[in-house]
Structure 1
Amino acid sequence: MADVVKKMEEAPGILGKDDKSHSLLKKYLTPDVVNKLKNTKTKMGASLWDCIQSGVINTDSGVGIYAPDAESYTTFSEIFYPIINDYHIGFDIKGGAKHPPMDLGLDKINFPNPDPEGKYIISTRVRCGRSLQGYPFNPLLTEQQYKDMEGKVKDALNGLPGELAGTYYPLTGMSKDTQKQLIDDHFLFKEGDRFLEAANANRFWPTGRGIYHNKDKTFLVWVNEEDHLRIISMQKGGDLMAVYKRLIQGVNEIEKKLPFSRDERLGYLTFCPTNLGTTIRASVHIKLPKISKNLDEFHKIAAKYNLQVRGTSGEHSESIGGVYDVSNKRRMGLTEFDAVKEMYEGIVELIKLEEKS
């Protein structure tokens, strides 16, 4: 324990020395915060070091902190709350804000395709994260817990109706042909992300991990990649309405069988504080050659609409062939429906700007 305390005490200095580091952890992890929290643990055994180790090892992180279990968000609120406030613009958790109740907005959906000719939008995707009640997040899961969770999730997925019906592919024992096909389809998540590795989130790999998808590969569930569940709806083109309706159906069906971890102030709880609240990430793969010519300017334009720009393969990736992944940034302080609507309205505006340029 003394070694771990020493690592915590040294962390602000390590982050402070790296002039290139702009992480939120660096911004808010002061020696005072460390002193207050260094001897504290959650009921499941998580320490401050379990939360911050990835950001200390990878000083180039954007955020730099993960929650090893649901309780960490309140036990270590001294560091989590300022970071949540900073990332989720307009949501003042420190000032007593509460995330609104879930509202998927099925009766309000009206998202006409903003690119019916397919000139800009290549594909559309909406996903959300979910954690199972009673289990810690990845860094604290035992090998047996991974197996138990996989069994419960597999049972829940096996009964999905209609268009959602599909097959679960465990990573353990997966054939090379299946693996190749899933990689070629850009579905298969892989071990090796250094940020997750440093957070101890890749232990016992590939035990308890797997991928479920329907026949058309428009509905997927990732099991125990970064979060317990990532529920994903996707298809080619810009028909967000169809994609979002499919996600709603999938989430509702799975929740009938599995209890999810939710907090009345923070909403749905997941491993990363950027992904709380609605946990909704609605995104398009889009080509906007004129306004993305100057990448810094493109990021600024997107930020005006509360959008986030990433490379073609998501976080920590580069653009391939001028294709960018553009998504809603805000996940807290607004409903699920409003998060998706914000992305939709932002994309409509970006396409208008592209056509005027």
Structure 2
Amino acid sequence: MKKRIKIQKKSLHLLLFNTLFCYYSFMKNIMPILPSSCKSLLCKYLNEDIFEKLKDKKTSHNFTLSNAINSGVQNLDSGIGIYAGDEESYSLFAPLFNPIISDYHHFEADDKHKSNLNIDNLNAPDLDPKNEFILSTRIRVGRNLKDMPLGTAISKEQRYMVEQKVSDALLELQGSLQGKYYHLNSLSTKEQKELTENHFLFKAGDRFLEAAGLNRDWPEGRGIYHNDEKNFLVWVNEEDQLRIISMQKGGDIQAVFSRLVDAIQQIEKSISFSYNTHLGYITSCPTNLGTAMRASVHIKLPKLSSNMELFKNITDNYHLQIRGLHGEHSQSENGIYDISNKRRLGITEVECVQNMYDGVKALIQQEKELN
């Protein structure tokens, strides 16, 4: 036990030394010497030639290469390690972004993204009408305003402008989407308790988002909207300027997707989102480009969870991700898992949801067949 503690302390000291050394280089605008132990895509693709080529470039919103890589330099355990400051970042810093996007999404610089939010193209009748397996369904998309810097580069004044514009649009929603908007910096004790109990309240992001500049001026200019039925939710100025979320108990994936599409279409009457034909919907983190969609279910699979190889074979076949009950890096509880689409760029929204639906259908079928 003592030996293990010494090894852990040594590893922590080494990580701290490497982080400080890289950050010193970064502050001096010289190429950080990234350790071989760093496995992020930033560490994989950033080299001295690219750094020298890009280090003095600035987008029209004054976003630099140093801003883009700050999170990955400070956090050597990042998976990606780079964030965009605006749509222009993806073209200006393309020598670094393009290989990272290609590696993560298998999507090349001359590929085109297509969007499809036509609910008639989705074939997803309720998979679990008796509620034996699926506890809940949740589909969300990220959106950012056209011609506005992303959260990594936005000013405090611009963030307030975004909140005002978005909250005005949300309060114009009609039908079952009608609800209430809450300014995060002026929540009453009662409102905070209510939002927490409903699992709607979001907090400042983690150290990765902090280093990317996404937590600046917290909680100013941020807010939450939910409809009266509490099955539709929007986070304003969290990681993306809008996180539009549709959810409900059970496995009626078609209904959840339909509500989401209705909301997007209503919001688009007042707001133009940042989008281009190559990368789709523009987001600060390159992993969310394209559809910016995560379609997921919480599902109980106690038998299948005892055979993770079979479990993973099914999810891999349908391009799905297995996560714990409380999301990434969490553990399963009582055989309950969060299953979601892995692909976002280069496929449509309908394809994302259809992949998730078909994969979940196969998982339920396998669970029923196991003794």
With the length of structure 2 as denominator, give the TM-score of the two structures: 0.88
State the structure with more CA Rg: 2
Q: Does 1:219 align with 2:224?
A: no
Asked if the contact 1:211–1:222 (Cα under 8 Å) also holds between the matched residues in 2, the reply is yes
Partner SS, residue 180 of structure 1: helix
Give % identity.
52
Matches within 5 A, 1:111-260: 111-260=124-273
Asked if the contact 1:8–1:49 (Cα under 8 Å) also holds between the matched residues in 2, the reply is no
Asked if the contact 2:85–2:150 (Cα under 8 Å) also holds between the matched residues in 1, the reply is yes
| Per-residue deviation, residues 277-296 of structure 1 (Å, max 9, x unmatched) | 11121111112223333657
Asked if the contact 1:130–1:261 (Cα under 8 Å) also holds between the matched residues in 2, the reply is yes
Q: Distance in 1 between matches of 2:152 and 2:309?
A: 35
Distance change in 2, residues 1:223/1:313 (3 Å): same
Q: Does 1:47 align with 2:64?
A: yes
Q: Distance in 2 between matches of 1:296 and 1:76?
A: 39
Partner SS, residue 305 of structure 2: coil
2:43 to 23, 26, 37: 26
Q: Distance in 2 between matches of 1:282 and 1:169?
A: 25
Q: Does 1:56 align with 2:70?
A: no
Query: Who is 2:55 aligned against?
Result: 38
Q: Does 1:279 align with 2:296?
A: no
Query: Who is 2:343 aligned against?
Result: 330
With the length of structure 1 as denominator, give the TM-score of the two structures: 0.92
Q: Distance in 1 between matches of 2:333 and 2:148?
A: 38
Q: Distance in 2 between matches of 1:135 and 1:235?
A: 32
Displacement of 1:254 in angstroms is 0.1
Distance change in 2, residues 1:163/1:114 (3 Å): same
Displacement of 1:3 in angstroms is 6.4
320-329 or 247-256, larger mean C-alpha shift: 320-329
Matches within 5 A, 1:95-110: 96-100=110-114, 102-110=115-123
| Per-residue deviation, residues 235-255 of structure 1 (Å, max 9, x unmatched) | 000000110000010000000
Matches within 5 A, 1:305-344: 305-344=318-357
| Per-residue deviation, residues 224-282 of structure 1 (Å, max 9, x unmatched) | 00000011100000000110000010000000100111111111101111111111211
Residue identity opposite 1:76 in structure 2: F
68-77 or 105-114, larger mean C-alpha shift: 105-114
Displacement of 1:318 in angstroms is 3.4
Partner SS, residue 195 of structure 2: helix
Residue identity opposite 1:98 in structure 2: K
Partner SS, residue 342 of structure 1: helix
Q: Distance in 2 between matches of 1:192 and 1:275?
A: 16
Displacement of 1:298 in angstroms is 4.1
Q: Distance in 2 between matches of 1:55 and 1:353?
A: 40
Q: Distance in 2 between matches of 1:151 and 1:176?
A: 23
Q: Structure 1 unaligned runs (5+)?
A: none
Displacement of 1:6 in angstroms is 3.5
259-268 or 115-124, larger mean C-alpha shift: 115-124
Partner SS, residue 304 of structure 2: coil
Q: Distance in 2 between matches of 1:23 and 1:300?
A: 25
Asked if the contact 2:29–2:55 (Cα under 8 Å) also holds between the matched residues in 1, the reply is no
| Per-residue deviation, residues 79-109 of structure 1 (Å, max 9, x unmatched) | 11111112113x2x23x11112x21122223
Q: Distance in 1 between matches of 2:266 and 2:138?
A: 19
2:104 to 58, 62, 87: 87
204-213 or 32-41, larger mean C-alpha shift: 32-41
Q: Distance in 1 between matches of 2:327 and 2:298?
A: 10
Displacement of 1:163 in angstroms is 0.2
Partner SS, residue 134 of structure 1: coil
Partner SS, residue 185 of structure 2: coil
Residue identity opposite 2:51 in structure 1: V
Partner SS, residue 344 of structure 2: coil
Asked if the contact 2:83–2:285 (Cα under 8 Å) also holds between the matched residues in 1, the reply is yes
Q: Distance in 1 between matches of 2:309 and 2:104?
A: 19
Residue identity opposite 2:123 in structure 1: N
Displacement of 1:302 in angstroms is 1.8
Residue identity opposite 2:126 in structure 1: N
Displacement of 1:8 in angstroms is 5.3
Runs of 4+ residues over 6 Å off in structure 1 = none
Q: Distance in 2 between matches of 1:317 and 1:79?
A: 31
Q: Does 1:74 align with 2:91?
A: yes
Displacement of 1:157 in angstroms is 0.7
Partner SS, residue 53 of structure 1: helix
Asked if the contact 2:314–2:359 (Cα under 8 Å) also holds between the matched residues in 1, the reply is no
Q: Distance in 1 between matches of 2:96 and 2:328?
A: 23
Asked if the contact 2:246–2:256 (Cα under 8 Å) also holds between the matched residues in 1, the reply is yes
Partner SS, residue 234 of structure 1: strand
Displacement of 1:319 in angstroms is 3.1
Displacement of 1:316 in angstroms is 3.8
Displacement of 1:4 in angstroms is 4.1
Query: Who is 2:315 aligned against?
Result: 302
Q: Structure 2 unaligned runs (5+)?
A: 1-23
